[in-house]
Structure 1
Amino acid sequence: MILRAIIILLALFDMIVGAAFFFTPGGSGRDFGLKADGAAGLSTLRADLTAFFVVSALCMAWGAWRRRADALLAPLALFAIAFTGRLANLVVAGTYERWWEPMAVEMFHIAVLGLAVRTWRWGPHSV
């Protein structure tokens, strides 16, 4: 029950972040260290980052609600790849102010989702 609640809270957090990118892509992008270059840049922030966070949130909410590990694989993969990209950037470009914060959020997602994937059933008819 606690694991489900944590995942639902993470999903809510991600849905809020996704909505912020949809409705205020310029401001949300700046919060993430991104600068939109005109309409094309705003479109990319609005589309791609909204998709990342909203799809993750919906899959996490569905997976937590139904206790379905398979529904958590997409957000687990997204956050694992994001974390890996940040880790590669640390090696290649070095640190920056508050570099560890997004990595901590991503690692928390990975740990919680990984635990749920190992614990919960797979598919609608699994045991």
Structure 2
Amino acid sequence: MRLILTALLFAGGLMFLFIGMGFLLDPATAGADFGVIPDGAMGRASLRADFTAFFVVAGGCMIWGAWKRKGDPLLVSAALFGIAFIGRLVNLVSVGAYENYWMPMLVEAIAVVLCLMGSRLLPHTAFTSQDAA
């Protein structure tokens, strides 16, 4: 069970890391895949900065947690994807559904479940006063 969970976390993390790199290298194309079109240099900079940060941090924490068999970094990814899921849910309720609205929500929900399972099954690092020094 742990091996399968670790493999899924690592593979998911790689996928999100590649999505993040797509926003860094070609924000217009990556943004179009997400229904976001940049408006000039500022729009490209925002996509490049914000989306890259989201996906690289979320994916990187999933990879780190899986590789080191640590549950702590997975909580960061779970929080990021959980907030994204809530944002989509608020949009669904306030604006309504759009074509294939459920697909990104499903991906985010699966990421949250995997990260929370990993957080519970993989050990946590004990913080000591020596760590702060």
Q: TM-score, normalised by structure 2?
A: 0.91
Distance in 1 of aligned mates of 2:45 and 2:110: 29
2:28 partner amino acid:
G
Deviation of 1:124 after TM superposition, in Å, equals 5.8
C-alpha distance 58-124 of structure 1, shift in aligned 2 (>3 A)? farther
Q: 1:32 maps to which residue?
A: 34
Question: Paired residue for 2:106, among 98, 104, 107?
Answer: 104
Q: 1:52 maps to which residue?
A: 54
Distance in 1 of aligned mates of 2:126 and 2:18: 28
Q: 1:63 maps to which residue?
A: 65
Q: 1:116 maps to which residue?
A: 118
Q: Which has the larger radius of gyration?
A: 2
Distance in 1 of aligned mates of 2:68 and 2:35: 35
Q: How large is the Cα RMSD of the aligned pairs?
A: 1.1
Q: 2:131 maps to which residue?
A: none
Give every structure 1 segment of 4 or more consecutive aligned residues whose post-TM-superposition deviation is greater than 3 Å. none
Structure 2: which 5+ runs fail to align?
Answer: 128-133
2:94 partner amino acid:
V
Q: 2:92 maps to which residue?
A: 90
Q: TM-score, normalised by structure 1?
A: 0.95
Structure 1: which 5+ runs fail to align?
Answer: none
Percent of aligned positions that are identical: 45
